[in-house]
Amino acid sequence: MKRAGNLLIAVMFLLGTGTAFAAGARTDDSLYQALGGKAGITAIVNAMLTNVADDMRIVHYFADANIVHVQHGLVTKFCAITGGPCHYDGLNMVDTHRGLHITPAAFNALVEDLQAAMAHLKIPLATQNRLLARLVPMRNEIVEH
């Protein structure tokens, strides 16, 4: 049992580094296809924004936003980071969110609205998680420090 414990500890170090590498790989459009391409991504973004509209925790962040512009930007961004044939040429994530004072709690609320949207659209959990893994690295550019 002691040996098993030491093995567990060693395996976890390896797993930690291995999964970090896997998360960095981004060479194909399999995630874009798994999400249903441009139409699937558009449905996810629309469902997420519908949730946001009812979310008292964060809806005020969008009070002055051009929602058509936001929707287009999100679809293009999601398409681009999942390997789809889109080129995001909007403002970078820092400039897009400048002055909005987005808190860690607000960011997490948006993640929950996205998760609920994907669950509502019956997107397989593994596909949901792959998309979240691509979005998470942007968090530090979005949240105000």
Partner 1 sequence: MKLPLTLGVTLLLASTVAMAGQGRLLATGGVTEIEGQSGGGIVPWAVIAGYGTRDQVDGTAFVTGLGTGDYDLTALGAAIGIDNRFEVSIAKQHLNLGTLGELIGLPGESLRQEILGLKVRLFGNLLYTPEPQVSLGVQYKRNIDGAFVRSVGAQSNHGVDIYLAATKLFIAGAFGRDVLVSLDLRATKANQIGLLGFGGDRGDGYNVEAEASLGLMLDPQTVIGVEYRRKPDNLGFAREDDWSDFFIAWFPTKSIALTAAYAALGSIARLPDQQGFYVSVQATF
Q: Residues interacting with partner 1, by CB under 8 A?
A: 1-2, 4-5, 8-9, 11-13, 15-16, 19-20, 22-23, 103-106, 108-109, 111-112, 115, 124-127, 129-130, 132-133, 136, 139-140
> Which pair of structure tokens corresponds to residue 95?
């400039």
Q: Which is nearer to partner 1, 72 or 133 (CB)?
A: 133
Whether the Cβ atoms of residue 38 and residue 79 lie closer than 8 Å to each other: yes
**Tokens 């896997």 sit on residue:** 22
Q: Which is nearer to partner 1, 51 or 115 (CB)?
A: 115
- The least distance separating partner 1 from the CB of residue 41, rounded to whole angstroms, comes to 17
Q: Which is nearer to partner 1, 72 or 138 (CB)?
A: 138
- The least distance separating partner 1 from the CB of residue 104, rounded to whole angstroms, comes to 4
- The least distance separating partner 1 from the CB of residue 72, rounded to whole angstroms, comes to 26
Q: Which is nearer to partner 1, 85 or 104 (CB)?
A: 104
Q: How far apart are CA 39 and CA 45, in angstroms?
A: 10
* Single-letter residue type at 103: T
Looking at the chain, the number of H-run helices and the number of E-run strands are 8, 0
Residue partners of 51: CB distance under 8 A and separation at least 6: 113, 114, 116, 117
